[in-house]
């Protein structure tokens, strides 16, 4: 933890990054790359995923996912409400991701655990929560700081899966983009995405209590080992308790959203 913090501080010194506050009030070190560069990385990662995986042509399922994404993104802060691109991949693993630049990828396997629109909203809200909380920027900044400590000044993203990543300003190839979205999140970021995602879902008119049901379904499928999508999350039972407690506090938000006409009918 100390090394990661030191790395972030060094990254700030060499890249003039900023100290900012996340949506939950947590201090962040960000700015190793610009927002335009982040968006470019996100676009390339998304294009890379679509070129390597089979994209579903199922009109009903695509419309279902699109409906949930649109409902969630309408509740985003100003500046984040651009048209988000969505891709549904033919993949049996229960997985999803979101990227800077307005990209959302969902595997068809997610429907085995997200049994209704509220549970799918919990997944998508969580992933979009990573983007609006600037977790990708934060991870790159920390990674650049670690690389600086190791004397590898050109490495910005590291190699979570064995693919080296060059300077984001000039080397934004497919391998770099792929590594960009595959880098693991920290438990702090995962917990924060839970908070932001559950809030977004409630504001959009999705039942925040269904996030608990989603996690219970995930555990039932994964047994003692949850799917990779959730591998860095805190202890499952503690997380379920936190989701449940937060759902209770979000019920007024959910009810107000419904009273205001936010009644998604996605599927």
User: How many Cβ atoms sit within 10 Å of the Cβ of residue 149?
Assistant: 13
Q: Which positions ≥6 away from 47 have C-beta within 8 Å?
A: 174, 177
Burial class (CB in 10 A: 0-12, 13-18, 19+), 224: exposed
Query: Strand 103-107 relative to strand 85-89: parallel, antiparallel, unpaired?
Result: parallel
Q: Which positions ≥6 away from 143 have C-beta within 8 Å?
A: 7, 155, 156, 157, 158, 183
From the candidates 75, 85, 90, 127, which is the catalytic residue? 127
* Residue 90 known to be catalytic: no
Spatial distance between the Cα atoms of 74 and 139, rounded to a whole number of angstroms: 26
User: How many Cβ atoms sit within 10 Å of the Cβ of residue 205?
Assistant: 25
With contact defined as beta carbons under 8 Å apart, do 221 and 229 qualify?
A: no
User: How many Cβ atoms sit within 10 Å of the Cβ of residue 201?
Assistant: 36
Please identify every residue annotated as catalytic: 127
């Amino acid at each position: 933890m100390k090394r990661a913090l030191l790395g972030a501080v060094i990254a700030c010194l060499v890249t003039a990054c900023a100290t900012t506050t996340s949506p939950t009030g947590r201090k962040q070190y960000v700015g190793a790359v610009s927002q335009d560069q982040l968006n470019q990385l996100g676009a390339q990662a998304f294009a890379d995923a679509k070129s390597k995986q089979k994209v579903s042509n199922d009109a009903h399922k695509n419309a279902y996912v699109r409906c949930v994404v649109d409902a969630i993104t309408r509740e985003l802060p100003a500046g984040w409400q651009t048209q988000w691109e969505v891709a549904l991949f033919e993949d049996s693993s229960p997985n999803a991701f979101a990227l800077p630049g307005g990209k959302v990828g969902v595997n068809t396997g997610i429907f085995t655990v997200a049994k209704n629109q509220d549970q799918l909203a919990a997944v998508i809200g969580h992933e979009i929560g990573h983007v609006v909380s600037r977790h990708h920027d934060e991870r790159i900044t920390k990674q650049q700081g670690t690389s600086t400590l190791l004397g590898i000044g050109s490495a910005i993203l590291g190699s979570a899966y064995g693919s080296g990543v060059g300077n984001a300003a000039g080397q934004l190839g497919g391998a770099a983009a792929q590594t960009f979205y595959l880098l693991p999140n920290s438990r702090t970021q995962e917990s924060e995405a839970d908070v932001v995602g559950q809030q977004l879902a409630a504001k959009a008119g999705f039942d925040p209590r269904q996030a608990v049901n989603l996690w219970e379904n995930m555990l039932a499928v994964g047994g003692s080992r949850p799917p990779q999508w959730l591998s860095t999350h805190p202890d499952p039972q503690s997380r379920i308790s936190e989701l449940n407690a937060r759902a209770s506090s979000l019920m007024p938000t959910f009810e107000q959203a419904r009273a205001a006409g936010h009644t998604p009918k996605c599927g």
